[in-house]
Every structure is written in structure tokens, then in C-alpha cells.
Amino acid sequence: MCGITGLWSSGQGPHPSELVVRLTDALRHRGPDASGHLAPAGGVAFGHRRLSIIDLSPAGAQPMVSASGRFTIVFNGEVYNFAALREQLEREGRAPAWRGHSDTEVMLAAIEAWGLERALTRFIGMFAFGLWDASEQHLHLVRDRLGVKPLYWTRTPGALAFASELKALQALPDLDTTLDRTALASFLAANCVPGTRSIFRGTHKVAPGTFLTFSEWNTEPRLTRYWDAAEVARRGQATRFAGSDAQAIEALEALLRDAVKLRMVSDVPLGAFLSGGVDSSTVVALMQAQSSRPVHTFSIENEVAAYDEGSAARAVARHLNTHHTPFTVTAKDALDVIPLLARMFDEPFSDSSQIPTYLVSKLARRDVTVALSGDGGDELFGGYTRHLYAPRLAAASRFLPPRLRHRLSGAITSLSPDAWDAVFESGRPLLPVMRIAGIRMHKLAAALDADRPEGVYEVLASHWTKADRVLADEASWPAPRPRTFAGDTAEDLTHEMMLRDLTGYLPDDILTKVDRASMAVSLEAREPLLDHRLVEFAWTLPLSMRVRGATGKWILREVLARSVPRDVISGPKMGFGVPLGEWLRGPLRDWAEALLRPASLSEVGLDPGVVASRWAEHLNGRRAWEHHLWDVLMLQAWRQALNRQAL
């Protein structure tokens, strides 16, 4: 795991070798062990910050040149099957004289032997890299299939530049930092800047599953898509798994076991995040089954019971006999982390679980350098509440006139979130156990007003919408995304939601959060459930093997049940939240009100009246607007940090 940078200069301005050092120094946190720089051609320079994981010797240092001298690579991530690829190259008689045992060296040999695109289809891993081809005089920028590792690029008046994080590109003397208004609107809706945009106009992300090829520093790149999640989903559903439940469970466990095994290869201490939920518990169970000593696990507990996962994590840890380390997060911990967030994420980012994610990463880094996580299980196997209920809601709403749906929505919101919490508490056991029931009921009310089936997803997965009129420039709101699964059956809608989560919410929010939070403390996070072989297999499964009745992740639960008794994993889904609403009314109130000043909101094009109204309703408990407000607060905190940096 590392931080990478690169420049292709016009020859005007600072020398690229000097400038790339400045860019690379901005990523010291991603690679505290060593720094490397190389200029493979006139006007081209690469930089690397190293977090040593595989081959700790100088033979694993980067930037690295291929045996023939044709290719130079600067690489962030891991190719987990490098040992098998190395053996294959040797069998084919296409292996060079190996200098070390790093995956980087094997990647270069594979690219020389098979070509870039064919090599990529054989890599199992997470990666983002820049590759200079001295023969063709081309620069390739490559990102892994699911978007686990980040890669930004931009063009200034004098150079093309790329980096793992936006903060490195901000070291460029002439970077355009004008806000992209569409990116800003998308952030307000999604609590992150999604897709290939960045918050800065003219700076972009490489899309997952693609690589860009530049033939000159100042020309538009050619895009090659070597893996397409939407096509994987369509193809998988067209050629469904035809075996029995038992056969599917067996096949999934075999894939999971291998995915976990590959990600346990490390020359440094390794552990795992453990929430006590299905995903992380499955990963830890398979780790422990393949380890000769107790796996070191880490979890976050919360002093507010409704958000606490501590007992579940401890129960799983006891059953699996892991070496478990918990940490209880308090409001003070949040206050201490908040000043770090704007710089940590580089652009507005407001998934509030960023706080516990950073804290659990910091906790793990005391003892290990690598931590496995359970990210991806919800997206692949139908684990979100919206996967269970939104298709039914969309189907039912087709039979209700819009006016009736609007009145029903209003009736639900006539009770405050706290009142709904009391209703569900007093209605046990007739009403289902539901954490933060009031917030969920208000989300349901908003979904009832959706004007089309996929609109239910957009409401449930979004915060601010165009209808809120919070942004003065309404033309900035992006157009609705076209559908992949065109049918209107509950199954079509569920598949559409799962695919949108896999290609949007997962890389743009979840993986961004995990990457920045873990790398802020120089910790490598690995996600076994995002092995592309698992993704491809999951999409061949009939929906009934993933979502069965009111149970999401059915097949994953069956795999876990072979290692952990069902009653140990029996509670409702918790997520990784924090009591943000309470904190904003209490210890964070003064900080929030300082950022919500009308003049400051107007500067960025937000309507102060709309924000003030929601703040007032949140403070008096009338509505639960904490996530909408957190979007605005994180935007304002980011702007504040950017202004300080410019001074």
C-alpha cells in the first residue's frame, strides 16, 4: 500500500523531477517507510511513498523499471495472486531474472509478456498505477475493477499530473481549484463526490475497471474498459447458477476461503476489523480457520446503546477465540477527529461513519500494518434495508394515487422521530425490532413521494434533492441515471438497487472512506468480499439465494453458520453509525452554528433560509436532519481548510 504521483510536463515551468518530489511529500502518510522518485523519460517523472507490506527489501522499492527497460511503474495496492502469476510466467519461459519477490516486479513481467489489458484480466487484487511505455511513448493510468484504490488526474497549463489523493495535486502551482458545481450538487445528494468528477473543475478520477492512455501530455486520453460491473451483472443473470442451495453454499465458501487466504499473504503483522455483523464475522471466521494463531481483531464500541456493536463483536470474538481489542467512542473522540476530516478526505465527504472508521483504523495500527474488512457483502448479497423493502414499496406505490401517497407521507412525518421510536418500543413484540426507527420512518415518508420506481432508491440513498432548493444553481443537479435492469418487477428493482450500490455507493462512499481513514494512519485495508471472482459468482445467483423473505445476505449467513452459531449473529443490522443527531444538539452545537452562518452559506451558493429551517427543526426534535446538516457542515469545514491552506 502506497501513495503514488506522476507528471508529464511540457517542459515549461518547474522541472518535473523537482515538482514530483513536492507532490509525493504530500502523501507521506500513505507510505511512511520510504520515498522514491524516477524520471523514465524527458518531461516524465514518477514519485512513490512506500508502506512496506510484501518484499520489505530494496528490491521491492518503487518506481520500478521492467527487466527490458520498456516499462516503468508506480503502483499503489496489492496483486494478491502474484505468486501464481510468477509460476505461470516461469512455465511459459517468459520470466525475467527475478530481482526480488514483490508483486510489483511480477506485474511488470506480466505486462511485458501478455500486454497491459490481458495482464489486467489476470490480476486479482486492488490497484491503481501509472505505467510509462518507453517504446510507445504512452502513459497509462489504471484503476482496479471495483475502485478500491483511488487515482486522480488533472491537466494544468504546463503538465499532466496524477496522484493517489487530491492533496498531492494541490501541491501543483497552477492547479485550477474552481468548484465544479455539478460535483457540489452531487455531493449534497450522495454525501461524497461520485463518479469521475472531483470537487475541482478539471480534476478527475479514473473510473473503476478502466485505464486511460495518453499519447501526449496535452491530448485527451483513450479510455479502455477491461471490466464492467454492469455487464457482469447482466451476464450473470442471463446464465444463472443452476445448482441447489447446498451446491451454491459450497461454491461460495470455496471462493470466500481462497479470497481470504490470498489476502492473508503479508510480510508484516496482519489483523481484521470485526463489527459482529455477518460480513466481517465471515471474513474473520475464514481467517481464523486458516491461521495457526488467534487472529487479532479490532472493533469500535459506542457509549450510546442504539449505536453500539460492541457486544456482538465480543460474542463473535469469544466464539472464534480471536485476540480482540475494542475501543469505546465518545463525543469527545468525535470532537478530536472532526478537525482532521477535511484534510483527510481532501474534498467534501460526509458519511459520518468516517469518524469510527478512522478510530478503528488508528486502534488497529498500534498492533498491525494490514487489516481485512467485510466491505462489499451488503452490495453483493442484498444486505441493506432498501434491498428488502424498497422494491415492495415501489410496487405498492404504483397502486396508490400520487395525492394519497403525499398525504400518507405527511401523516408519517406528523410524528417526530422520537415519537416513532416510542411507538416501536411500546409496540413490541408486535412491531419489528428496528434501530433508529423514527429516522427510518421519515425516510419511508420521503420514498412514498417518489415519482417512479427507481426514484424510491434515489430517495432512500440520497440526502439533499433538487426539490429541497438548497442550491441556488438548480441547473447543477445531475440528470437521473439510466437503468440497467429495465423491468418493473420486484426482482428487477432489487437488482437495480444492488448494482447501483456496487458501482456507486460502494466505490464513491464506502471504499473512499476506508481508504482515506486507514491510510491516514498508514494502515493497509483489504476487502476479501470484493474479489472480482466473488462478484462475478454472486451475480449468477438467483435473487432468492441472496434475499430470502425478509432476510438479506441469506447465502452468506449460511456460510457463516458453518463457523459461528446463528444465535451469535442474531441481532438487527447495525451499520457503523454514530449518534450524530444527539451530538449536534449537544457537544457539537457551537462548532456547527459557527459554520452555518448565513453569509458563509451564501458564498458557496447555498440557501441560508433552507439550512436554517432544517437546523431549527433538528434542534427542537421535530425532524431528523442530522445527515443533511452534516453534508453542509463537512462542506463548510472543507472550505475553511482550503482557505487556510491557500493563505
Give the pLDDT mean for 359-371. 96
Give the pLDDT mean for 431-439. 64
**pLDDT at position 304:** 64
Sign of CA dihedral 580, 585, 590, 595: positive
Domain count, the chain: 2
Please check whether residues 54 and 115 belong to one and the same domain.
Answer: yes
Please check whether residues 43 and 97 belong to one and the same domain.
Answer: yes
Identify the band that residue 647 occupies on the pLDDT scale cut at 50, 70 and 90. very low
**pLDDT at position 438:** 67
**pLDDT at position 88:** 98
Please check whether residues 332 and 252 belong to one and the same domain.
Answer: yes
Q: What is the 3-state secondary structure (H, E, C) of 45-85?
A: EEEEEECCCCCCCHHHCCCEECCCCCEEEEEEEEECCHHHH
Gap between the Cα atoms of 76 and 386, Å rounded: 34
3-state secondary structure of 35: strand
Determine, yes or no, domain membership for 168.
yes
Phi, then psi, of 610 in degrees rounded to 5: -65, -45
Please check whether residues 170 and 220 belong to one and the same domain.
Answer: yes
Please check whether residues 346 and 375 belong to one and the same domain.
Answer: yes
Please check whether residues 105 and 206 belong to one and the same domain.
Answer: yes
Domain-terminating residue out of 182, 210, 227: 227
Determine, yes or no, domain membership for 337.
yes
Identify the band that residue 305 occupies on the pLDDT scale cut at 50, 70 and 90. low
Identify the band that residue 231 occupies on the pLDDT scale cut at 50, 70 and 90. very high
- Helix, strand, coil percentages (3-state) for the chain, rounded to 5, are 50, 15, 35
**pLDDT at position 386:** 86
**pLDDT at position 472:** 82
Please check whether residues 89 and 140 belong to one and the same domain.
Answer: yes
Give the pLDDT mean for 523-528. 97
The total of other beta-carbon atoms located within 10 Å of residue 479's CB is 6
Cβ atoms of 195 and 186 closer than 8 Å: yes
Determine, yes or no, domain membership for 563.
yes
Question: Of all residues in the chain, what percent carry a pLDDT higher than 70?
Answer: 94
**Is residue 181 pLDDT above 50, yes or no?**
yes
Please check whether residues 158 and 303 belong to one and the same domain.
Answer: no
Domain that holds residue 146: 2-227
Determine, yes or no, domain membership for 482.
no
- For 251, residues 6+ apart whose C-beta sits below 8 A from its C-beta are 241, 243, 537
Identify the band that residue 337 occupies on the pLDDT scale cut at 50, 70 and 90. very high
**pLDDT at position 480:** 82
What residue has cell string 503502483?
75
Distances, alpha carbon 631 to alpha carbons 327, 351, 450, 509, 623, in Å: 26, 8, 22, 13, 16
Gap between the Cα atoms of 142 and 69, Å rounded: 20
Average pLDDT, rounded, for the chain: 91
Lowest-pLDDT choice from 1-15, 169-183, 266-280, 370-384: 1-15
Please check whether residues 246 and 353 belong to one and the same domain.
Answer: yes
3-state secondary structure of 187: helix
CATH code at position 504: 3.40.50.620
CATH code at position 212: 3.60.20.10
Give the pLDDT mean for 331-354. 91
* Better-predicted residue by pLDDT, 505 or 329: 505
Please check whether residues 75 and 206 belong to one and the same domain.
Answer: yes
Read off the C-alpha cell for 479. 440528470
User: Is the peptide bond prior to 194 cis by the omega test (within 30 degrees of 0)?
Assistant: no
Number of H helices, E strands in the chain: 28, 17
Task: List the beta bridge partners of residue 41.
Answer: 44
Please check whether residues 88 and 162 belong to one and the same domain.
Answer: yes
Phi, then psi, of 208 in degrees rounded to 5: -55, 145
Sign of CA dihedral 295, 305, 461, 515: negative
Domain-terminating residue out of 170, 201, 227: 227
Determine, yes or no, domain membership for 609.
no
Determine, yes or no, domain membership for 163.
yes
**pLDDT at position 457:** 79
Question: Of all residues in the chain, what percent carry a pLDDT higher than 90?
Answer: 71
Please check whether residues 179 and 241 belong to one and the same domain.
Answer: no
Read off the C-alpha cell for 325. 481489542
Domain-terminating residue out of 227, 242, 265: 227
Read off the C-alpha cell for 539. 451475480
How confident is the model over 548-573, as pLDDT tens digits?
A: 988 999 999 999 999 999 988 866 55
**pLDDT at position 421:** 74
How confident is the model over 109-164, as pLDDT tens digits?
A: 999 999 999 999 999 999 999 999 999 999 999 999 999 999 999 999 989 999 99
**Is residue 303 pLDDT above 70, yes or no?**
no
How confident is the model over 581-628, as pLDDT tens digits?
A: 988 999 899 999 999 999 999 999 999 999 999 999 999 988 889 999
* Better-predicted residue by pLDDT, 17 or 610: 610
Determine, yes or no, domain membership for 196.
yes
Determine, yes or no, domain membership for 580.
no
